[in-house]
Every structure is written in C-alpha cells, then in structure tokens.
Amino acid sequence: ARYRPSNAGGPVPTLIYVHGGGWVAGSKEANILRLLPYQQQGWAAVNVQYRLGDVSLAPAAVEDSLCALRWVGRNAEQYGFDTDRLVVSGHSAGGHLALTTGMLPADSDLGRQCLGTDTPPVAAIVNWYGITDVGDLLDGVNQKGYAVRWMASMPDRVEIAERISPLNYVRNDLPPIISIHGDADPTVPYAHAVQLHAALDQAEISNQLV
C-alpha cells in the first residue's frame, strides 16, 4: 500500500516500512499508524506486506522486501517518490528486513524474483530492534521459536541464515543507519544491535545506537 501527501508539488521523501512479527506473523494493516509521523512531515509512505513463514519459508520475506524497494524505483515517477530520499524502516523482524533491504548489494541474487533489474539506492535505514544475526536465533541460548519456525527443517538453514544476516553485509559504502533497541529486550537479543553498531563503526559508516 502506498500513501502520498495530497498537496505535494513534486517528488517527496519516502518511507518504506516493513512490519514485524518474527517473519511468521503480523500485517501491514496493523502497523499503519507508524506511518503517520512521516506523513505529517510531508513524506510519502509505502507499507510492505511480505510472504510470512506459513506461506513460504526463509528467505522469501527478504526477497519480497527487496522487490518492494525495486517497485518503489519503477513507480517513482507515477507516485512522486523521490528516489534520492528513500528511507527504509521496520520493527523487530521488520527491522531485520529493513536492514537487508538497505544493505544487500544491488546485484544480490536474492532479487532474482523481482520485476526489473534496477535497485534504487537507500538513503538511510531506521532499524527498530531488528535481528542482525539470524543464525544466532536457531540454536543455543538465544534460540527463538519464531526463527525456528521461519527456517523449519531446511537442511541448508545455516547457510540461508548467513546469506540473510545484516552483519555479513557491513562494508564501507552503506547508507547511514540508526538502531533503536531496548537493552532488556526478551525477544531480540540486545547484543544484535551492539554487534551491528561495532561493525559499522569499524567500517566507518555513519551510525548510531540508541
């Protein structure tokens, strides 16, 4: 779903929002109020729905989010999206998907199912307590049921987790990233934000952890 200010005179900055729910629950409709602060500032907003785990296992949600970014690029002229000012954001699993959408290389094979080949650049990422190391949630002390459900019993789940973990895409040409994460979060380990922040600092990427 896309929303645009009725009084916009030209292309406007655009929020691409991806909902949370452990990749297996949630909906874009339940999160529509999160778009309002941006719209009040005169932004357009694109509210993304992706395939949940009961429809298609990992990495389908990552693929769909990347396809949404390409959709914004293809339809920018029609809807007045400013492709120089695209900000991708999300909460929890949506934070993870916002990170992968903004951090995956433009030629990533995870975009093979998408229409078109052009991936517009992301200007910034607003990561609300997103997962940064998917494999960390599959086993051990940080194992989470939602991650296990998303991966199920796929024999290559560890390899897939590596391919879709934002920590593995830190490099020196990323957009600015701000992460907001509670240090007592019981659902997404706070260490995920700390590790991303440290890696981004080392790569000299403008970033902040709140």
pLDDT tens digit string along 118-152? 999 999 999 999 999 999 999 999 999 999 999 99
Residues 6+ apart with CB under 8 A from 148: 137, 138
Per-residue burial over 164-192, b if 16 or more Cβ lie within 10 Å, else e, is bbbbbbbeeebbbbbbebeeeeeebbeeb
Q: How far apart are CA 28 and CA 196, in angstroms?
A: 26
Q: Tell me what pLDDT residue 177 has.
A: 98
Q: CB burial class (10 A; 0-12, 13-18, 19+) of residue 56?
A: middle
Asked if pLDDT for residue 36 goes beyond 90, the answer is yes
Q: Tell me what pLDDT residue 147 has.
A: 98
Asked if pLDDT for residue 7 goes beyond 80, the answer is no
Q: How far apart are CA 7 and CA 61, in angstroms?
A: 33
For range 40-46, the mean pLDDT = 96
Q: Please name the amino acid found at residue 123.
A: A
Contact of 15 with 87, CB cutoff 8 Å:
yes
**pTM for the full model?**
0.97
Q: How far apart are CA 191 and CA 76, in angstroms?
A: 37
The DSSP call for residue 28 is S
For range 191-201, the mean pLDDT = 98
Question: Average model confidence (pLDDT) for the chain?
Answer: 96
Asked if pLDDT for residue 204 goes beyond 90, the answer is yes
Q: How far apart are CA 100 and CA 114, in angstroms?
A: 15
Asked if pLDDT for residue 40 goes beyond 80, the answer is yes
Asked if pLDDT for residue 9 goes beyond 90, the answer is no
